Amino acid sequence: MLRASLLILSVVAIAHAELCKPDAQNAFKVRISIKTALGDNAYAWDATEEYLFKAMVAFAMRRYSSKSRTQISNVLLCNVTDRVSFWFVVTDSSKNVTTVPGSEVEAAIRMNRNRINNAFLLSDKTLQFLKITSTLSPPVEPSTPVWLIVFGVVVCLSVAGIVFLIVSGIQKHKKKNKESTERENLEEKVEVTLENGIPCEALDLKAGHINGVFAADDERFTSL
């Protein structure tokens, strides 16, 4: 019985070794840069972190498909390096000797990429699935609604336009009054009248005006 169990385990181990190897069918390579991401707060990659990675992949497979019965034991890691890179495959939970199609694994990883990143305090740049394209982070919604921002811009432009029109109107009115005053002053200085067809300066009614002819006569008949 013991020999039979050991034989079965050996067969399974050999099968798993064939399933998980570099460039194997449905296998994916992962590269992790913990030191780059966390600096002095970097943690060591050990068996516990590997267990967490397997658990997150199993979680992603289950969340991707409600029919999936993926267990942690169905996620196989191989060729783990000290600089933290490795390959992994997901085996079929019903047979355990075949792998889940790579397209399903890729879709599950992409769907749950943020959850996997957060579990290791990493990002798409520091936790790289080399054959799986990075997903775009969800757009950040502004705290202020867009319509309110647009409304505020329109109101500001309207107020600025009204102020501009008012200021322009006041300036034009002042300029018009100034031109009118200057024109009236100029007319007063150069005002002339026509008398008997001869242009003469306007009479100053307050100061009076002396006729030169009569002034000469007065001087001629002045008593000695």
Choice between 95 and 45, residue whose per-residue pLDDT is larger: 45
- HSE-CB of 103 using CA atoms within 13 angstroms: 0
- Answer whether 164's CB lies under 8 Å from 65's CB: no
Q: Collapsing DSSP states into helix, strand and coil, what is residue 30?
A: strand
Q: What CA–CA distance (Å, rounded) separates 181 from 168?
A: 20
Q: Cβ of 120: how many Cβ atoms within 10 Å? A: 19
Distance in angstroms (rounded) separating the CA atoms of residues 71 and 58:
6
| pLDDT top residue among 148 and 14 | 148
Bridge partners for 77 per DSSP: 88
**CA-wise closest residue to 76 among 65, 58, 85, 89:** 89
- Domain positions in the chain are 13-129
Q: How far is CA 13 from CA 20, 64, 74, in A?
A: 10, 28, 13
Tokens (6 digits) for 133: 């394209």
What's the CA gap between 83 and 66, in Å, rounded? Answer: 35
pLDDT at residue 139 greater than cutoff 60: no
pLDDT in tens, 74-106: 999 999 999 999 999 999 988 767 899 999 999
Q: Calculate the CA dihedral of residues 213, 215, 217, 220 and round it to 10 degrees.
A: -140
**Segment 180-221, tens digit of pLDDT:** 777 776 666 555 554 555 555 555 545 555 555 555 555 555
